[in-house]
Structure 1
Amino acid sequence: MGRGGKGNDGRRINLLTNHFKVSVNVPDAVFYQYSVSIASEDKRAVEGKGIGRKLIDKLYQTYSSELAGKKFAYDGENTLYTVGPLPQNKLEFTVVLEDSFAKRESDNLGGGESSDRSAKRSKCSFRSRTFQVEISYAARVPLKSIFLGSKGKDKDNNAQDALRVLDIALRQTAAKRGCLLVRQSFFHDDSRNFTDVGGGVAGVKGFHASFRPTEGGLSLNRDVTTTMILTPGPVIKFLLANQNVKEHRHLDWAKAKRMLKNLRVKTNHSNMEYKIVGLSGKPCNKQFFPMRLKNRKGPDDQEQTMDITVAEYFDKHRGIELTYSAYLPCLDVGKPNRPNYLPLELCSLVSLQRYTKTLSSAQRASLVEKSRQKPPERMRNLADALRNYRYDEDPVLAEFGISLEKQLTKVEGRVLESPKLKVGNGNDCIPRNGRWNYNQRTLLQPSNIELWVIVNCHARCDTRRLSRELIECARSKGLRIEQPFLLLEEDSHMRRESPVRRVERMFQRLQEPIKNEYGRRPDLILCVLSERKNSDIYGPWKRKCLSEQGVVTQCVSPLKINDQYLTNLLLKVNLKVPTLPLGGINSLLAIEHSSRVPIIEDTPTMILGMDVSHGSPGRSDMPSVAAVVSSRCWPLISRYRASVRSQSPREEMIDALYKPVADKSDDGIMRELLFDFYLSSNGRKPTQIIVFRDGVSESQFNQVLNIELKQIIKAYQKLEGNEYIAPKFTVIVAQKNHHTKLFQADYSENVPPGTVVDSMIVHPTNYDFYMCAHAGMIGTSRPAHYHVLIDEIGFSANGLQNLIHSLCYVYQRSTTAVSIVAPIYYAHLAAKQVSQFIKFEDLSESSSGQDSTASARLVPALPMLHNNVCSSMFFC
């Protein structure tokens, strides 16, 4: 939807942003789009990726006159653009590429090098490959469509295509400079930009650059960014770091083989580059290969060979005596039926090879610690990058008539006032700088916990001290917690069992005494884990408690026990334990406490938060998990319930919102949440629904409306039947994964919490704004970018911004304003926690023997939550 107006609440503040104004000297230029097809000599199609840029560069050098000297913007695959047309709509060229390699007297299968010890590699030979390149006209893209789009006059929707051309020009220039390209981010091979995070992995700092249409005109969004690469250097050093061992005799070679496959290495003795296909079955000193003998032919006129070990070959024919790697497997860099062996100690990993697997907790913590930048440092890096990149000298951008200002864009923002909170005993709490605490304060609605248990899966935790100090801290916050009924220590020998087996054994031990004495489930089980994150036992434990037993559980792994840690723990416990009819409440907004939330106070309103969690990189068989949380107990906006379903891997659109066919086992997400709203809101049905959607890009906005919103409407319509009256919807997408940063004009510190920007850098026609609701204590704050897709409810700009700002203060498990609305945070937490239910199952085994397409369709259903806990805020 278009922008209805701008807000004016809050005090005004002068800001800078990392958008740089772009001037276009040839506004009437027209981009001509051409399709590129590449074929080998035998007419087989060749994918452009990897070889495309080399071919087009060679083509331009060879046939520049036939192309009328036009500069290209080439995407590296099958599309290129020029300013103005090429001489013909269809052109065909023959392009010869020559790959250089070291001179050698004879070929062999082992080292891939000369068998003559005295051979010198001062000269190079060349192996030529011939390709047929066809360039065919596809479309015209006028540059002025960008400016027409900013005024809502781009009838042909060419604005995005024109922006794509400019972005491709940036990528092409970065590629020619040898950068690693990750979408619109570029990373140079400079060791000064590398940050070791352990495990043979490094973070490399680079820069994001993309053209954006804004209210202030075309701008270049430039930001500092980081991606992960494998640490370049000796292969053996990488393997030791990757497996966290000190000596190569402790290496797991099966694991090493999986890790090294398809990585690129460069040899120290010949400076040649290869791709690893595997490892040899034997060490270098026992791995034989047939070496061709120079100038010797057999009776059938074929070259004679002799079997020789890799170690012997390098010693006798290369003059290289292997040390430790003589007793280690070789790298195989050959072809399936023609191996080519290289000793480990002669090979180094090529730089800028991306690492796409999930980082461990330790790696992630190290990356955050080492890559964070305060605003002044980030500003310096941006200024340096802009100066070093020299956009004005870029020949392609110059051909397109593009020039760039060197100064950050000035923008006016507003700082919204922090909402007042209500805590225990009717006291008010006024946040300062987006933060508050419970010192000398009690929780608004504290729970009472009579029957609870501590299960210790961590040998070093003093559970008696933990329970004693937790009870004392709870008393000061208004909670009444009795002494734990049972302190259960896991047997040390059980820690060697599988996670599922460990959980089963622990429940067998704790169920019988509770059943004999109380005959009911405990109010809470506190489980002490040995690891803070990614514990193997976490998923099976949560599944057992929440799905099978219907018992609320809280997992902890205390490094140190102090009042702050215990207070944070109690904030979570108070929300989960269903000893009160609707669970405990830590705090409410003052306007919520007095039922005076604008627009919501008079009309039953449901607030939804929606998110989808995907499997970790490299696990394409892991199903995605969709979570939707909805507000309950209208007119409150701080209480939520979650509904979670699994769906096809990597699928972003939620497909379980509505079930058209009656299914006794699953009525669909929305039916479940609408019933809960009705029951918890004194029999009132929602006539207004506010949807907050996370995790979708701008290209998916229409899908949110055409797929997800339609499902919600159908679910509501099915419940209402013939009495259906359509509720009013407001649909808002929240994005955190963007590159716009806001800075105070003096660069000194982060922008204050509550900062809103809805001018200059926002979309020229669509309804969006930036909000930084939280206080950035470390690094540089990243504002949330909110896009209003539809607003049938009819919020004013001030009303919607104030509601969103307030929803950043209702995140019950924290005493700080959060960076994005609480319903989205809750949906993220629910999806992440329930996904652990199936994380410990080896899905790849269950799908073995099936093709990947079939296995992707067989999505395992998540275990349903037990009725005792499904309406609780178990996800906090």
Structure 2
Amino acid sequence: MDPNKPRPPRLADVTRLPWLLQQARGAGRAPGVPDVPRARGPLLPDPGIGRTAGMAFSRGFLPRQCGRGPREPAGGPLMSFARGLKLQPEESELGRGRGLHLRAGEPEVGVRKEAFVPGQESGSGHDVKLQVLGQPAASDLPEGMPKLEAEELAPSQVKQVRSPFCFTLVDCYSHNLSVHINAKSSCLKYYNVKQSLNLIWCWSGLSLVILQYSEPLQKKGSMGSPVPIGSNHIPIRCKNEAVFQYCVTFTPNVESIGMRFGMMREHRSITGNVVAFDGSILYLPVRLDEVVHLKSERHTDKQEIDIKIQMTKILPPSSDLCIPFYNVVLRRVMKILGLKLVGRNHFDPRSAVVLGKHRLQVWPGFATCIKHTDGGLYLMVDVTCKVLRNDSVLDVMNVIYQQSRESFQDECLKELVGSIVITRYNNRTYRIDDIEWSKSPKDTFTLADGSQTTFIDYYSKNYGITIKELDQPLLVHHPKERSKPRGKLITGQILLLPELSFMTGIPEKMRKDFRAMKELTMHINLSGEQHSSSLKQLLQNINSNQEALTELTRWGLELKNDILMTEGRTLPLEKICLQSNSFITSPDVSWSKEVVRDASICCIPLNRWSIFYPKRCAEQVEELVVTFGKVAGPMGLRLDRPIHVEVKDDRTETYIKSIHSQLNSEPNVQLVLCIIFGNRDDLYSAIKKLCCVKNPVASQVINVRTISQSQKLRSIAQKILLQINCKLGGELWTVNIPLKNLMVIGVDVHHDASKKSRSVMGFVASLNSLLTRWYSRVIFQMPNEEMISGFRVCLIAALQKYYEMNHSFPEKIVVYRDGVSDGQLKMVELYEIPQLLQCFKTFPNYEPKLTFIVVQKRVNTTLYLLGGNGHSTPPPGTVLDHTVTSREWVDFYLMAHHIRQGCGLPTHYVCVYNTANLTPDHLQRLTFKMCHLYWNWPGTIRVPAPCKYAHKLAFLSGQYLHSEPAVQLSDKLYFL
């Protein structure tokens, strides 16, 4: 209000609502007085012009006014939300300017995403989220009169809203309007209009509550070339008007969940056949009376039970609360099609591909889920497969026994613990956590009804299986503590028979067999055309199966006949910068030839280095050293002859003693290079522990088989030298980064599945403007602890190191956080980000801008390039930032890497926090640039380089070192 402007004359009997005392901006009511909305203006005894920002009521005269327009009696009830002029009561249309006046007699309220406004064109498009609550308190207001109450809202969510229903819906005083409307209408209509306002309407005194609102997320970029994109999302249409939620109570109380289900089944004539019931909450696609009373008899004591079914919510069919039921319906449909549920996915054993030579079976299948995205409701289907081995766990144990009888039990634990097995009698998968050597199938266990039985009798009676090996030990699986749908808590352990448990996954021996893996890859890596054809075949199977269609129709679901087709963008190719040369990448984003023809940005001379090898591979070692000398010059590297140390045998102790002795006699050694036979994890771990923890020095371990092929030795030597240069502190290449004074951080967590040890977090941060110098730290955590409690320690150390190098702190910090699922995003926002913000207070007057991006590699979204040749793999740099993206976050899908075999699997990026105000184009371009900076591969990779570095660091520390590396190595990429 203008202080120089004269105040209007005070009207008689104008008050500030005395029972509110000093809280005139809240809501309240005196006993016997009608409900009063949250008002800041005066209460007028008779008609007049109300220059108020709220609503004004009078006991004898019930005007309604919202905004700054004229106030008039509510004779033929009107809801006046206007800044302009109000039209006559018999009219229901838009007023002049921003006004809107609707009659409130027989309300027909729009449900879904928008409010129904005839011809509405104005409004700012804020997204207002609503939720239906229970019965409102009794009101003294006449029927049809809205009751407004105040509810608290976070200050960050409170802004001025301009919607077609009011000019000031939520003011700047941290309150929210809860509109309770007592309507008699029995119809529910849906309208598609432009205003971004979500309404959920209920009859007969149920509530319409505005919970929060926010501006629409700006996530769509514009840079790059448009490209037609397909995705494995199938649009779903919801034909039902609503899904109805009811609260079910039993009097007297019925404890047994199973008995509750039985009683509800007795009343299918009332509830119908289509139900979703968890023991207390009932969901139906049909509307019952507001309160329904049913009678049942408890069979145990013949007690009559009163079942009360009371409506509590009416949900739009696209509500997130409905999605779990839709997924249950989808599982039923897949079962109707003959697919078997294994874990969370559905497979078709009838179409299994048998690889008899390798004793494997490949079951084709689908991973499915229904999700709500920016584009609406979609069924997401990913083509997957299950690799099953014909070997049972008992077969594997027999092989181990033949190979090492003395350490049989230890070798079995090492080989089997952590493996996933499938029990084919019920197609369930389990993780082996332990082996119970003292038990056998002859032992007994307790059934659910309390009776005792042996494992032999149990499998014979329930599955018709005769156990052959009676003295085999039992496998132990510890399920995560969780509740079953009927309320039972799953705890304790599950015992499995090795004879009936079959190994899954690709054997380790086979992974090292190139030809075997090539044959297997033909069946598990589908091209884009094969992938999309499988989806279309599934849709055809569903639409041609009447039983499957009926199951979908019961809940009002209808699947489109084709996958989603939309438009994405391809980002511009980047320029790679070397020491004295730069070039635009080729379309396949590979620069393996250029990087060995020109000098790297920074090359570290290798003056003192030692090479350790067994005597029998001396010839290969000498050939490798000679090749090093030939290829080093063009790459800008200079290296002297190494110190040759020949070890007498290839035992771990021999290597460690030789290396330790050499480091003591030559303290200035820059590099330890070891040539070993075979894939020796024990030897590799011992060498890395010595060189990364006890005697910090750069180290390189090479399998002799890698350098035994003379025709490939030159290219192998070039790659090894590039890697060695990184480990010494060299810098290979970079890209143009427009952002100045920037620090980029990568974070990942490694969990060792085979050992019950701590988890380890890898932290890597850039130290210079070229993003070619990196600082790394490792933090160990409690088992399976994903959220990083040591974030603060790492960031403070990185900022101090950055200051040492640049004599200033970074102005912008971008964090790429890997390994976070959708369910953990809120935890990251509430727990990890505050730790980072707290770090900045350590340094006086330091307030940098922060952007926090979650990186998700394990996504089921697949992208196809649409063209004349069908569905192919999208080119590197393809980004999709709409339609399939999340409604709650600024996110995008990016395919940064080149795919030679298979279909387009993008990486999902979710921006959780962004005070740096980076636009969607900035986020996407920066992320694509960072995918070019992984120096172990002269090309782009799936994730930003700092994330990959953090992963390599965490894996090395958790898998081999089992302790924090020496701090002397923290400014070098020693873990590559």
**Normalising by structure 1, what TM-score?**
0.69
Q: What is the Cα deviation at residue 638 of structure 1?
A: 3.4
* 2:762 is equivalent to residue 637 of structure 1: no
Query: 2-side partners of 1:334 and 1:134: how far apart?
Result: 47
Query: 2-side partners of 1:584 and 1:32: how far apart?
Result: 66
Q: What is the Cα deviation at residue 161 of structure 1?
A: 2.3
Q: Mapping of 1:359-398 within 5 angstroms?
A: 360=508, 362-363=510-511, 366=517, 370-390=523-543, 393-398=548-553
Q: Measured at CA, do residues 34 and 575 of structure 1 come closer, stay the same or move farther in structure 2, by a change above 3 Å?
A: farther
- Aligned-partner residue type, residue 873 of structure 1: L
* 2:678 is equivalent to residue 528 of structure 1: no
Of 771, 796, 809, the match for 1:671:
796
Spell out, residue by residue over 1:773-828, the C-alpha distance to the aligned partner (whole angstroms, 9 max, x if none).
Answer: 11111111211111112221112222221111111111122111111111111111
Q: Secondary structure at the match of 2:791?
A: coil
* 2:962 is equivalent to residue 872 of structure 1: no
* 2:972 is equivalent to residue 822 of structure 1: no
Aligned counterpart, 2:326:
166
Of 706, 727, 730, the match for 2:851:
730
* 2:783 is equivalent to residue 649 of structure 1: yes
Percentage identity across paired residues of the two chains: 21
Q: Which has the larger radius of gyration?
A: 2
Query: 1-side partners of 2:436 and 2:269: how far apart?
Result: 45
- Aligned-partner residue type, residue 144 of structure 1: P
* 2:338 is equivalent to residue 187 of structure 1: no
Of 737, 740, 743, the match for 2:861:
740
Query: 1-side partners of 2:905 and 2:443: how far apart?
Result: 58
Check conservation: 1:692, 1:733, Cα contact below 8 A.
yes
Which ranges in structure 1 are unaligned for 5 or more consecutive residues?
47-51, 97-131, 147-158, 268-275, 290-309, 315-321, 336-343, 495-501, 578-582, 592-596, 659-667, 840-861
Aligned counterpart, 2:239:
25
Spell out, residue by residue over 1:169-200, the C-alpha distance to the aligned partner (whole angstroms, 9 max, x if none).
Answer: 223444577755466522233352566896x7
* 2:574 is equivalent to residue 415 of structure 1: no
Check conservation: 2:439, 2:473, Cα contact below 8 A.
no
Structure with higher RCO (Cα < 8 A, 6+ apart): 1
- Aligned-partner residue type, residue 856 of structure 2: Q
Q: Secondary structure at the match of 2:967?
A: coil
* 2:628 is equivalent to residue 470 of structure 1: yes
* 2:879 is equivalent to residue 756 of structure 1: yes
Q: Measured at CA, do residues 525 and 611 of structure 1 come closer, stay the same or move farther in structure 2, by a change above 3 Å?
A: same
Of 900, 910, 915, the match for 1:777:
900
Q: Secondary structure at the match of 1:481?
A: coil
Q: Mapping of 1:844-863 within 5 angstroms?
A: 862-863=963-964
Q: Measured at CA, do residues 567 and 729 of structure 1 come closer, stay the same or move farther in structure 2, by a change above 3 Å?
A: same
Of 193, 209, 230, the match for 1:16:
230
Of 65, 78, 83, the match for 2:268:
65
- Aligned-partner residue type, residue 687 of structure 1: E
Q: Secondary structure at the match of 1:868?
A: helix
Q: Measured at CA, do residues 569 and 217 of structure 1 come closer, stay the same or move farther in structure 2, by a change above 3 Å?
A: same
Query: 2-side partners of 1:64 and 1:364: how far apart?
Result: 60
Q: Measured at CA, do residues 243 and 745 of structure 1 come closer, stay the same or move farther in structure 2, by a change above 3 Å?
A: farther
Query: 2-side partners of 1:364 and 1:655: how far apart?
Result: 37
Q: Measured at CA, do residues 446 and 3 of structure 1 come closer, stay the same or move farther in structure 2, by a change above 3 Å?
A: same
Q: What is the Cα deviation at residue 754 of structure 1?
A: 0.8
* 2:660 is equivalent to residue 507 of structure 1: no
Spell out, residue by residue over 1:248-268, the C-alpha distance to the aligned partner (whole angstroms, 9 max, x if none).
Answer: 99899857797899975769x
- Aligned-partner residue type, residue 379 of structure 2: L
Spell out, residue by residue over 1:109-168, the C-alpha distance to the aligned partner (whole angstroms, 9 max, x if none).
Answer: xxxxxxxxxxxxxxxxxxxxxxx999997995644273xxxxxxxxxxxx4322222223
Q: How many residues align?
A: 690
Q: Mapping of 1:453-492 within 5 angstroms?
A: 453-456=610-613, 462-489=620-647, 491-492=649-650
Q: What is the Cα deviation at residue 205 of structure 1?
A: 2.7
Query: 2-side partners of 1:643 and 1:728: how far apart?
Result: 22
Q: What is the Cα deviation at residue 573 of structure 1?
A: 1.1
Q: Mapping of 1:110-259 within 5 angstroms?
A: 142-144=314-316, 146=318, 159-174=319-334, 179-181=339-341, 184-190=344-350, 192=352, 203-229=362-388, 231=390, 239-240=394-395, 254=409
Q: Secondary structure at the match of 2:395?
A: helix
Q: Measured at CA, do residues 83 and 521 of structure 1 come closer, stay the same or move farther in structure 2, by a change above 3 Å?
A: farther
Cα-Cα RMSD: 4.5
Q: Mapping of 1:668-707 within 5 angstroms?
A: 668-680=793-805, 682-707=806-831
Aligned counterpart, 1:119:
none
Spell out, residue by residue over 1:287-319, the C-alpha distance to the aligned partner (whole angstroms, 9 max, x if none).
Answer: 999xxxxxxxxxxxxxxxxxxxx9xxx9xxxxx
Query: 2-side partners of 1:35 and 1:228: how far apart?
Result: 47
Spell out, residue by residue over 1:687-730, the C-alpha distance to the aligned partner (whole angstroms, 9 max, x if none).
Answer: 22111111111221121121111111112212x1xx23322111
Q: Mapping of 1:243-642 within 5 angstroms?
A: 254=409, 264=423, 330=471, 349=500, 355=504, 360=508, 362-363=510-511, 366=517, 370-390=523-543, 393-428=548-583, 430-437=585-592, 438-456=595-613, 462-489=620-647, 491-492=649-650, 494=651, 502-503=652-653, 505-513=654-662, 515-516=664-665, 518=666, 520-532=667-679, 535-557=681-703, 558-559=705-706, 560=709, 561-577=712-728, 583-589=729-735, 591=736, 597-598=737-738, 600-601=739-740, 604-616=741-753, 619=755, 621-633=756-768, 635-642=769-776
Query: 2-side partners of 1:210 and 1:435: how far apart?
Result: 35
Spell out, residue by residue over 1:540-565, the C-alpha distance to the aligned partner (whole angstroms, 9 max, x if none).
Answer: 32121111101111222243452332
Check conservation: 1:73, 1:169, Cα contact below 8 A.
no
- Aligned-partner residue type, residue 168 of structure 1: V
Query: 1-side partners of 2:390 and 2:263: how far apart?
Result: 35
Q: What is the Cα deviation at residue 456 of structure 1?
A: 2.9
Check conservation: 1:34, 1:81, Cα contact below 8 A.
no
Q: Secondary structure at the match of 2:969?
A: coil
Query: 1-side partners of 2:443 and 2:569: how far apart?
Result: 73
Query: 2-side partners of 1:783 and 1:713: how far apart?
Result: 30
Check conservation: 1:773, 1:808, Cα contact below 8 A.
yes
Q: Secondary structure at the match of 1:467?
A: helix
Q: What is the Cα deviation at residue 531 of structure 1?
A: 3.9
Q: What is the Cα deviation at residue 395 of structure 1?
A: 4.0
Q: What is the Cα deviation at residue 539 of structure 1?
A: 2.4
Of 832, 837, 849, the match for 1:708:
832
Check conservation: 1:141, 1:162, Cα contact below 8 A.
no
Q: Secondary structure at the match of 2:837?
A: helix
Aligned counterpart, 2:918:
795
Q: What is the Cα deviation at residue 485 of structure 1?
A: 0.9
- Aligned-partner residue type, residue 188 of structure 1: D
Query: 2-side partners of 1:134 and 1:470: how far apart?
Result: 86
Q: Comparing 238-247 with 778-787, which one deviates more in the overlay?
A: 238-247
Q: What is the Cα deviation at residue 447 of structure 1?
A: 1.7
Check conservation: 2:271, 2:284, Cα contact below 8 A.
no
Q: What is the Cα deviation at residue 526 of structure 1?
A: 1.4
Q: Measured at CA, do residues 447 and 34 of structure 1 come closer, stay the same or move farther in structure 2, by a change above 3 Å?
A: farther
Check conservation: 1:552, 1:874, Cα contact below 8 A.
yes
Aligned counterpart, 1:109:
none
Which ranges in structure 2 are unaligned for 5 or more consecutive residues?
1-214, 427-433, 445-455, 461-465, 477-496
Q: Comparing 443-452 with 561-570, which one deviates more in the overlay?
A: 561-570
Query: 2-side partners of 1:542 and 1:802: how far apart?
Result: 37
- Aligned-partner residue type, residue 800 of structure 2: F
